[in-house]
Amino acid sequence: MTWNVNSLKARLPRVEAWLAEFEPDVVCLQETKLADDAFPHERFAALGYECLHHGEGRWNGVAVCSRVGLTDPVAGFASAGPPDRDARIAWATCGPLRVASVYVPNGREVGHDHFHYKLEWLERLRADLDECCDPAGKVVVCGDFNIAPDDRDVYDPSAFDGATHVTPAEREKLAALHEWGLVDLFRTQHDEDGLYTWWDYRGGDFHKRRGMRIDLVLGTRPVAAAVTGAVVDRNARKGGRDDPPSDHAPVIVDLDCAGS
């Protein structure tokens, strides 16, 4: 499962209730907005999870949590090179899977410095795969990509003309991940449009079904062959002042890992 929680501090009761109900084996979180020493390891341990957190405090922050073991943790990019300026990726081995939780830079506006950072960040993610992973192995890269892979992943493509998340430049970087060997696991199960993972808080967008599918679970072909189902839990996007939701919903992919 992957979920951009938009502050784990603000979302902890909701995340705990969700984990207790669905009991996923591997959990990737983004936008924890916590420093490492503020991560509630004991609360996750109480639910059976061992966690790797990579955070900085006010912004960003990612985690990989597992109840099937967690080894070989890497906080940040795994490949050679200078450290990332933000806390946006963490790698760990969970059972048979090599897993990355990623929070791809938003980009802000096309042409903005942050947009170039986004494109370079995606190139660096490809370098992690090239240097540290095998496309014949069982690798999962999931999280908030801040890219809608296709026009069917956006409620109104014309509303995003000239905006980030849909440009050819961003989609080409995503294509480079597919060329390496990653498959969009959700799309192995569902072809239709209108299936989103993020809705703006403003304007009642969630209730008007104005969203985007920008949270992705990518896996190598051996993983794709094991997929038995995939869903977005829209219910987790519901709620009001007494139980405020993240602006993202969790994406769950079921794998049959018998024999691995």
Partner DNA sequence: ATGGTCGCGCAGCGA
Site residues, DNA (CB under 7 A): 6-7, 9-10, 33, 57-59, 105-106, 108, 114, 201-203, 244
Six token digits for residue 252: 């769950």
Phi, psi values for residue 127, rounded to 5°: -65, -40
CB 87, min distance to DNA, A: 12
CB 6, min distance to DNA, A: 5
Nearest to DNA of 108, 209 (CB atom):
108
Nearest to DNA of 113, 193 (CB atom):
113
Nearest to DNA of 22, 59 (CB atom):
59
Which residue bears the tokens 């986004």?
A: 118
CB 241, min distance to DNA, A: 7
User: Rounded to the nearest 10 degrees, what angle do helices 113-132 and 168-180 cross at?
Assistant: 10
CB 4, min distance to DNA, A: 8
> CA-to-CA distance for 218 and 133, rounded, in angstroms?
14
Six token digits for residue 68: 């099937």
Nearest to DNA of 50, 247 (CB atom):
247
Nearest to DNA of 96, 244 (CB atom):
244
Nearest to DNA of 9, 209 (CB atom):
9
CB 106, min distance to DNA, A: 4
Percent helix, strand, coil in the chain (nearest 5)?
30, 25, 45
> CA-to-CA distance for 154 and 149, rounded, in angstroms?
9
CB 96, min distance to DNA, A: 32
Identify whether the C-beta of residue 180 lies closer than 8 Å to the C-beta of residue 135: yes
C-alpha dist (Å) from residue 85 to 27, 65, 72: 24, 23, 22
